[in-house]
Amino acid sequence: MGFFGDLKREFFTLKELLRVTREVGWIKPDSQKLTPDHLEEIVDAHLELPAFITDDRTISYAEYDAYANQVAHWALEQGLKPGDVVAVFLTNRWEYVPIWVGLSKIGVVAALLNNQITGNSLAHCLNISGANVAIIDGELTEAYASACDLIDCEMAPHVMDGAAGSGERDFDTEVAAQPSERPSREHRAGITAKEPCLKMYTSGTTGLPKAAIIAHTRTMYYLNIFASGANAGPGDRMMMVLPLYHSTGGLCGVGFGISRGGAVIVRKKFSASAFWDECVTFEATLFMYVGELCRFLLAAPETPNETRHSIRCMIGNGLRPDVWERFVDRFKMPRVMEFYGATEGNVGLVNLDSRPGAIGRIPPWLKWRFNVELVAFDLEKEVPIRDADGRCRRTEPGEVGEAVGRIDPDDTRFRFDGYQNKAENEKKILRDVFKPGDAWFRTGDLMKRDKDGYFYFIDRIGDTFRWKSENVSTNEVAEALGHYPGVQQANVYGVPVPGHNGKAGMAALVVGEGFDLDGLQSHVAEALPGYARPLFYRIQTQTDTTGTFKFRKLDLVRDGFDPANISDPLWFAEPEGSMRPLDREVHDALVSGTIRV
Instruction: Give 21-36 pLDDT, tens digit per residue.
Output: 777 888 999 999 999 9
Please tell me the distance from the alpha carbon of residue 371 to that of residue 441, in angstroms, as a whole number.
10
Q: What is the pLDDT of residues 151-175, one digit of tens each?
A: 987 888 999 998 877 778 999 999 9
The answer to whether the beta carbons of residues 126 and 133 sit under 8 Å apart is: no
Give rounded-to-5 percent helix, strand, coil for the chain: 35, 25, 40
Confidence label for 207 from pLDDT (cuts 50, 70 and 90):
low
Structural domain boundaries in the chain: 31-344, 371-460, 465-592
Q: Determine which of 279-283, 379-383, 539-543 has the lowest per-residue pLDDT on average.
A: 379-383
* Residue 369, CA atoms < 13 Å, CB-side half-sphere: 11
471-505: b (≥16 Cβ within 10 Å) or e = bbbbbbbbbbbeebeebebbbbbbbebebbbbbbb
Q: What does the pLDDT read at residue 463?
A: 67
Relative to beta strand 336-340, strand 313-317 is parallel
> Domain 31-344 adopts which CATH fold?
Rossmann fold (3.40.50)
The answer to whether the beta carbons of residues 114 and 250 sit under 8 Å apart is: no
Q: Residue 369: is its pLDDT beyond 90?
A: no
Distances (CA, A) of 582 to 208, 419, 455: 30, 41, 37
CATH architecture under which domain 371-460 falls: Roll (2.30)
The answer to whether the beta carbons of residues 197 and 242 sit under 8 Å apart is: no
The answer to whether the beta carbons of residues 392 and 402 sit under 8 Å apart is: no
The mean pLDDT value for 173-185 works out to 97
Please tell me the distance from the alpha carbon of residue 99 to that of residue 93, in angstroms, as a whole number.
10
Q: What does the pLDDT read at residue 206?
A: 43
List CB contacts of 171: < 8 A, sequence separation 6 or more. Answer: 74, 135, 136, 158, 159, 160, 164
| pLDDT more than 90, % of the chain | 59
Question: At 354, phi and psi to the nearest 5?
Answer: 60, 35
Calculate the average pLDDT of the chain: 89
CATH of domain 465-592: 3.30.300.30
Please tell me the distance from the alpha carbon of residue 504 to that of residue 486, in angstroms, as a whole number.
24
Please tell me the distance from the alpha carbon of residue 575 to that of residue 511, in angstroms, as a whole number.
23
The mean pLDDT value for 504-511 works out to 92
Q: Residue 383: is its pLDDT beyond 60?
A: yes
Q: What does the pLDDT read at residue 381?
A: 76
Q: What does the pLDDT read at residue 85?
A: 97
Please tell me the distance from the alpha carbon of residue 583 to that of residue 214, in angstroms, as a whole number.
47
The mean pLDDT value for 131-155 works out to 92
Please tell me the distance from the alpha carbon of residue 155 to that of residue 127, in angstroms, as a whole number.
10
What amino acid is encoded at 2 in this protein?
G
The mean pLDDT value for 379-398 works out to 90
Compare 491 and 188 and report the one with higher pLDDT: 188
What phi-psi label fits residue 355: left (phi over 0), alpha (psi between -120 and 50 degrees) or beta?
beta
Question: At 14, phi and psi to the nearest 5?
Answer: -60, -45
